[in-house]
Amino acid sequence: MTIPASIDETVELLARGAYVADRSLATVIFLALKMGRPLLLEGEAGVGKTEIAKVLASALGRRLIRLQCYEGLDTASAVYEWNYQAQMIEIRLAEAEGKQDRDTLGKDVFSERFLIRRPILQALEPDVAGPPVLLIDELDRTDEPFEAYLLEVLSDFQVTVPEIGTIKAKEPPIVIITSNRTREIHDALKRRCLYHWVDYPDAERELNILRLKAPGADQRLSREVVAFVQSLRKLDLYKNPGVAETIDWAQALTQLDALALNQQVVNDTLGALLKYQDDIARVQGSEAARILAEIRAGAQAAQ
Amino acid sequence: MTNQGRIAENIVHFARVLRRAGLKAGPQQVLDAIAAVEAAGFNSREDFYWTLHATLVKRHEDEVIFEQAFHVFWRDPQLLDRMMALMLPEIRTPDNEDREKANRRISDALFANEPNKREPDEPELEIDASETFSASEVLRKKDFEQMTAAELAEAKAAIARLRLPLDEARTRRTAPSARGRIVDMRATLRASLRAGGIIPLKKRDYRHRRPPLVVLCDISGSMSAYSRIFLHFLHALTNDRDRVHVFLFGTRLTNVTRELKHRDVDDALARVTAAVGDWDGGTRIGETLHRFNVDWGRRVLGQGAVVLLVTDGLDRDAGEGVEPEVARLHRQAKRLIWLNPLLRYDRFEPKAQGIRALLPHVDEFRPVHNIASLASLIEALSAPAATKPERRAA
């Protein structure tokens, strides 16, 4: 499928992939697609950054290539590696046949035939469905040298293999980079990307997300879950619950056949929502009761 | 076509405003913004906003400035006219009423060309004039005292001697090494093609690197005698190593990492003094540690960071809220080192509440009895960790 021609079409495209995006996100995605620029998405864990790449790939019918970053990630696991075992056998065979010319053997052994393609190199290859979506996930987990390496890849969409030469993509892939901001991404890399901070959704959008992602949940329950989570995010907790946690919680509550929130059920299932003991201890009990009372009062006022 | 040209021109001016307000909107971003607006077209104000946002904002913190600048620049035609006028050689003085409406930082950026504008080099001028004689003024004068060449040389030599605990952390990245533990297949194969016969095994080994260092330094009244030495130390440290983050705290927390990155020590210190508003006041350890844990902990404590906490532990809030926050900091940091300059105390006794709350949660407690110079400070930090904090029975 071709890329959308306007911001409105981008919103529709994402909606087809069951992703509820606000206008700002749709704008930046549209521009990234249109201008062929990498998109850097930053935000707290669980706000749906990775999901964007997945949805884009499936909605556009492109291949999704995912590179999960971790400390010590190097070119051998991110870009390419030589198939040493096959190379050794090749050398052994050549020797058995009595070939002595080292230069030709060297060229033979270091040819594309023995190249193992890792995600970044795969993303530069032509694909029948169109350029793939390259997801570079949690870039902040890797170290600065890898980031510096990415500069070449992201500005020219090419990779240099010393033994072969430069491999350049005919059509640049759609690059989505995510970061949880456990450290700052270097300015040089940011300059090459379009940037967007993915924030927690507002109540209305979160309710829409819940309708799509947890369709089994009761209407009233969904509304209360969203109201509860939205109030939690105002509490200055160590880790605010993300959208992923909201969905988890709604599903957990549905499994327990809950039709509405009450203090008992909140206390029992808070672990699906909050992942730090300090936060759980703070919310459990009186704080949860206070929020619940607030939600009730708010619901009554609305009626 | 002329219309388009005008828009492009306006975007250039808008980017200039953003730059003066502190955003890094370089020429490449301006070109991107123009291309983006052409690609997206003009549908609505909101789309226009997000189109410029997508190309000109590169940090989450800058979003607020962008928002304010956008509304001032693209809504108020009067202000816009003034802005345009400022671009021309003749300078008109804007009346104060309009200025007050705009956010201060934005208006500073908009009217930076104004003749009576204070120079960025002496940002303390206004504040100094408005304040009566106070301790903070004394401190500022003391800190502005320039570093002599001899002091500078001493600082460089001293910082080279600095050996912090856990200074070499093994990374997961490897480098060629004759006696390494990992076989380097690629190098081995290349060597075999060159030599033939017996294949010499090439080895690699894990590289070592200094872990990130986070310094939390107390600048309250009780620590004021050492402020100059500490700031010189922090400046030398920031410029000597990568991945150093420096936070100063008294009653509130300030991240001064960027300010300290300026290579000239006097320039850097002037910027730090301007950025910090709570010199020589009280200390609120619990509150400031809480802010650090919530706002910065996850961002700077990754990758095995070592935390250096510099404070005398005297707390205005009588140690309230310190315990849970320092416990959390301890859990997040690879190693928590507490450097305590035992100011005015000949015999240190952990009587103060803040001190008692801190002690059980630090990995290393390093008391320094007299910091006369940078060298003695560095000596205290580099000495082998002798003092493991006594763990009192609860």
Nearest CA of chain B to the CA of A107: how many Å?
10
Judge: B47–A109 Cβ closer than 8 Å, yes or no.
Answer: no
Would you state the pLDDT for residue A68?
Answer: 96
The counts of H helices and E strands in chain A are: 15, 9
Placement of tokens 């070109």 in the chain: B31
pLDDT-derived band at B252 (thresholds 50, 70, 90) equals confident
* C-beta of residue B314 within 8 angstroms of C-beta of residue B286: no
pTM recorded for the entire structure: 0.79
> Which residues of chain A have a CB within 8 Å of the CB of B328?
238, 278
- The identity of residue B318, as a single letter, is A
Q: Which residue of A has its CA nearest to B304?
A: A71
Question: Which residue stretches of B276-373 are H helix?
Answer: 285-291, 297-300, 322-332, 353-358
Give the Cα separation of B175 and A149 in Å (integer): 16
- The identity of residue B281, as a single letter, is G
Reduce the secondary structure of B184-203 to three states and give it as a string.
CHHHHHHHHHHHCCCCCCCE
Would you state the pLDDT for residue B78?
Answer: 57
Q: Which residue of A has its CA nearest to B173?
A: A72
Would you state the pLDDT for residue B107?
Answer: 54
Whether B207 shows a pLDDT value over 80: the answer reads yes
The DSSP result for A185-207, as a single string, is PPHHHHHHSEEEE-PPPPHHHHH
DSSP state of B314: -
Q: Does A24 touch chain B (CB under 8 A)?
A: yes
- Give the list of residues 6+ apart from residue B67 with CB closer than 8 angstroms, or none: none
CATH of domain A7-71+125-198: 3.40.50.300
Instruction: Judge residue A261's burial from the number of C-beta atoms within 10 Å of its C-beta, 0-12 exposed, 13-18 middle, 19 or more buried.
Output: buried
Q: Does A88 touch chain B (CB under 8 A)?
A: yes
CA B291 to chain CA centroid, nearest Å = 15
Provide the token pair at A73.
């990630």
pLDDT-derived band at A27 (thresholds 50, 70, 90) equals very high
Q: Does A104 touch chain B (CB under 8 A)?
A: no
Cα B70 to Cα B35, B66, B80: the distances in Å are 18, 6, 11
- The identity of residue A301, as a single letter, is A
> Which residues of chain A have a CB within 8 Å of the CB of B36?
31, 35
Q: What are phi and psi of A65, to 5 degrees?
A: -110, 120
Give the Cα separation of A169 and A155 in Å (integer): 12
- Give the list of residues 6+ apart from residue B24 with CB closer than 8 angstroms, or none: A187, A191, B58
pLDDT-derived band at B97 (thresholds 50, 70, 90) equals very low
Q: How are the residues of chain B apportioned to helix, strand and coil, as percentages rounded to the nearest 5?
A: 50, 10, 35
Whether B83 shows a pLDDT value over 60: the answer reads no
Q: Where are the domains of chain B?
A: 3-80, 170-209, 213-382
pLDDT in tens, B150-170: 777 777 777 777 777 667 788
> Which residues of chain A have a CB within 8 Å of the CB of B293?
238
pLDDT in tens, B307-360: 999 888 887 777 778 888 999 899 888 889 888 876 555 455 556 777 888 888
- What's the average model confidence in pLDDT over B294-314? 87
Residue A187: CA atoms inside 13 Å, Cβ hemisphere, count? 8
pLDDT in tens, A264-287: 999 999 999 999 888 899 998 889
Give the Cα separation of B256 and B366 in Å (integer): 24
Nearest CA of chain B to the CA of A255: how many Å?
33
Give the Cα separation of A194 and A176 in Å (integer): 10
Q: Does A180 touch chain B (CB under 8 A)?
A: yes
> Which residues of chain B have a CB within 8 Å of the CB of A183?
212, 299-300, 302-303
* Spatial strand order in the sheet of A39-42: A64-68, A133-137, A174-179, A39-42, A194-197
Judge: A238–B294 Cβ closer than 8 Å, yes or no.
Answer: yes
> Which residues of chain A have a CB within 8 Å of the CB of B174?
74
Tell me which of B367 and A28 has the higher pLDDT. A28
Q: Which uninterrupted H or E stretch holds A155?
A: helix A144-156
> Which residues of chain A have a CB within 8 Å of the CB of B24?
187, 191
Q: Which of A105, A183, A235 to mutate to test the interface with B (most CBs of B within 10 A)?
A: A183
Provide the token pair at A13.
């495209």
Placement of tokens 């570093």 in the chain: B147
Instruction: Write down the ipTM of this complex.
Output: 0.81
Radius of gyration for chain B, computed over Cα atoms and rounded to the nearest angstrom: 27
Judge: A74–B32 Cβ closer than 8 Å, yes or no.
Answer: no
Judge: A191–B189 Cβ closer than 8 Å, yes or no.
Answer: no
CATH of domain B213-382: 3.40.50.410
- What's the average model confidence in pLDDT over A129-158? 91
Q: Which residue of A has its CA nearest to B47?
A: A27
Strand partners, B307: B214, B336
Quick one: residue A165, left, alpha or beta (phi over 0 = left, psi -120 to 50 = alpha)?
left
Whether B100 shows a pLDDT value over 70: the answer reads no
Judge: B58–A82 Cβ closer than 8 Å, yes or no.
Answer: no
* C-beta of residue B139 within 8 angstroms of C-beta of residue B224: yes
pLDDT-derived band at B265 (thresholds 50, 70, 90) equals confident
From the list B46, B299, B303, the residue facing A71 with the nearest CB is B303
Judge: A195–B36 Cβ closer than 8 Å, yes or no.
Answer: no
DSSP state of B292: I
Q: Does A103 touch chain B (CB under 8 A)?
A: no
Would you state the pLDDT for residue B56?
Answer: 93
Nearest to A42 by CA among A141, A241, A180: A180
DSSP state of B283: -
Q: How far apart are the first and last CA of chain A?
A: 46
Size of interface A-B (CB pairs under 8 A): 111
